[in-house]
Amino acid sequence: MILKLLAVVAILFLLYIIFFKKNRVIDKDSQQNTKNEELEDVLIECPSCGTFVSKDEAILSNGKYYCSNECLRK
């Protein structure tokens, strides 16, 4: 009776490892890819003062990126 119970527990454990362990590995890979995408940032040099600024934070005017309104007015 005990051997049957141990065999069932072992089979359930193996099924758990086979089906749920793979999902964790895939989830970790997808999380790593999103982290890498979040870290990517493009720096652009301001044509007026030469300061590098993030493309997301820069001001676009006439096809050029400026670091601030002051540089835009120059």
62: left (phi over 0), alpha (psi -120 to 50) or beta: left
User: Which pLDDT value is given to residue 9?
Assistant: 94
Tens-level pLDDT at each residue, the chain (74 residues):
888 899 999 999 988 888 777 656 555 556 666 655 566 788 999 998 999 999 888 998 888 899 998 988 87
Q: How far apart are CA 69 and CA 74, in angstroms?
A: 9
Position 27 scores a pLDDT of 56
Residue 16: what pLDDT?
86
